Structure 1
Amino acid sequence: MAKLENVDDTISYEELASLVSFIKNIHGFDFSDYSTASLKRRVTRIMQLEKLSLFDLRTLLTNDQEYFESFVIEITVNVTEMFRDPLFYKSVAENIIPYLRSYQRIKVWNAGCSTGEELYSFAILFSEEQLYDRSFFYGTDINSEVLETAKNGIYDLQKMKNYSENYQKTGALHTLSDYYTARYDAASINHSLKKNVLFSAHNLASEGVFNEFQLISCRNVLIYFNTELQKKVIDLFYNSLANFGFLCLGSKETLRSTEIGRFKIIDQKNNIYQKVT
């Protein structure tokens, strides 16, 4: 297949809509509720990096299943870090943990968990607050490849240095190295943090409630969805929360005025809410 040396820096919205419909017809995978601006950026990036014309891209998506799977991974993967936005975790410790102490069993759902760093961050926080042994942590994502990384809990040792800086900014009393074993250029999360953790596939766009949670965290995910899908996902979270459970959306996402009535604002800056109705 001939690849273009130069590719236009944009794919039109009409072409994008046609591509989305094409993918749904061929593979049954529906991107139609994703933010068109975000989807456009990611498809454009793929075409530019691989010097593909739209025709070439459609041909590959039709004839090469492995390429389609890698395409989905590239489109859906979200960047994550351990203790990303340290003040968010500080707020969880101050505003949510005291409330959760009254529960005999605590269930935490990290939706759109990507490679798992955020869920392990929660596991560390709960361990330090002596809540880990009565907690269970679910990490879900649509992307099967990132879930394998999450299950293994093995990360680049160089990245751990950045993660350690995040961790210290939460006001931590320990060091992050207490929670992993360094082997050559890799860091393996301690088994003690994995025993109450489960990672599995879940599609926020099409699948429903699978448990009742005291805390749901979904940060830097909704921004990739359009308004209709965002509302659907918020409804899913609401129905998945126990009474007075907490919804954590992070600093980049917020509830709309039509949704806020079902929640109490706990931390406006970090968009932490509590289910009240």
Structure 2
Amino acid sequence: MEMGFIEIGDEEYQDLLMAILQQYSYDFSGYSKASMKRRISRFLINKNLGTLRELKLRILADADYFDFFLEEVTVNVTEMFRDPSFYLSLRKNVVPYLKTYPFVRIWDAGCSTGEEAYSLAMLFKEEAILARSRFYATDINGKVLQTAKEGIYPISCMKEYSRNYIKAGGLYSLSDYYHARYNRAIMDSELSKNFLFSVHNLVHDGSFNEFNLIVCRNVLIYFQKELQEKVLELFMDSLPVFGFLALGNKESLRFSKIEKYFQVIDHKEKIYRRIN
């Protein structure tokens, strides 16, 4: 065992994943093995668990503990207006097209604790299309979705979020969109009026609507190639012709099976439009 790392063998790793699949119907077999092993190892160390077998027994015996495990090992790194240049591009290259529709549906897939969904809502409000938009914000993790529904964040984060907002082309002040109370920032309820938060597992849940814009940023990088292809096909099935798909800046449709169905709108920001 290295300092700060517990070595996890392939056989015991696969045994844990199979047990989780059988008991809770969560399939992690398509996730990046190296990334998942790192996160599980960190979990073992932080919770003072000596072996993977001990973790498996606790997970199988206690559904609440599994929820706790799920929250820790699924990636929930997010912030408001993360990568401001992405929002600038969205405002310039995508919103003008969305404005031509009488009603707009947006899927924020892998929304985590909701900062991205609220960022999109602010942008849509400033572009005068929020009232005729419906946001579907989904994640595998029900606990982070609860945070997203509440729309309450540490006030200490708002300084950085404000800088992001300004760089993203914000027209006003970020403080116009939340109420400060003690050490918390409570998001304006108008932003989430047209939100629908729901648990959705990209690994095995199917398409549930047709969308004009799908945003799934920095999620595919944690999947192996085969699962990436499966999720991208799910997104294509959920987009009509001329619908937009936005990925993270380290993700791409290049060399994917669905690449030929899309036009590159912004190569740097990984924004695509379905053309056939």
From 252, 255, 260, give the equivalent of 2:253: 255
Q: How does 1:32-51 map to 2 (within 5 A)?
A: 32-51=29-48
Find 1:198's aligned residue among 180, 196, 199.
196
Q: What is aligned with 1:210?
A: 208
1:96-129 Cα shifts (integer Å, max 9, x gaps): 0111111000111100000011011000000001
What is the Cα deviation at residue 8 of structure 1? 5.1
TM-score when scaled to structure 2? 0.95
Deviation string 1:56-88 (CA, Å, 9 cap, x unpaired) is 212211222211111112122421110000000
Query: Which position in structure 2 is the counterpart of 1:266?
Result: 265
Instruction: Show CA shifts across 1:166-195 (max 9, x none).
Output: 101112221100000010000111011111
Q: Shift of residue 221 of structure 1?
A: 0.6
One-letter amino acid matched to 1:190: D
Please state whether the residue corresponding to 1:193 is helix, strand or coil: coil
1:21 is aligned to 18
Of 144, 160, 163, the residue aligned with 1:146 is 144
| 1:1-277 alignment, distance < 5 Å | 9-52=6-49, 53-257=51-255, 258-277=257-276
Tell me how far apart the structure 1 counterparts of residues 66 and 231 of structure 2 sit (CA, whole Å).
25
**How many aligned positions are there?**
273
Secondary structure of the structure 2 residue equivalent to 1:114:
coil
Equivalent position SS for 1:243: coil
Equivalent-residue separation in structure 1 for 2:16 and 2:226 (angstroms): 20
Contact kept? 2:135, 2:196, Cα under 8 Å: yes
The Cα shift of 1:227 comes to: 1.0
AA aligned opposite 1:27: Y
% identical equivalent positions:
52
Deviation at 1:242, TM superposition (A): 2.0
Give secondary structure in 1 for the equivalent of 2:162. Answer: helix
* Segments ≥4 residues shifted beyond 4 Å: none
- Residue 21 of structure 1 deviates from its aligned partner by 1.5
* Structure 1 residue identity aligned to 2:11: E
* Residue aligned with 1:94, SS: helix
TM-score (ref. length: structure 1):
0.95
* Deviation, structure 1 residue 13: 2.7
The CA deviation at 1:89 is: 0.2
Tell me the amino acid that sits aligned with residue 258 of structure 2: E
Counterpart amino acid of 1:102? T
Mapped to 2, the partners of 1:167 and 1:147 lie a distance apart of 23
The residue type paired with residue 208 of structure 1 is G
Distance 2:155 2:86 in 1: 24
Output the CA distance in 1 between the equivalents of 2:208 and 2:25: 23
Name the CA shift for 1:41/1:193 in 2 (closer, same or farther; >3 Å).
same
CA RMSD, 1 decimal? 1.5
Q: Which letter does structure 1 place at the counterpart of 2:209? A: N
Structure 1 residue runs of 5 or longer lacking an equivalent are none
Tell me if structure 1 keeps the 8 A contact 2:126–2:171.
Answer: no
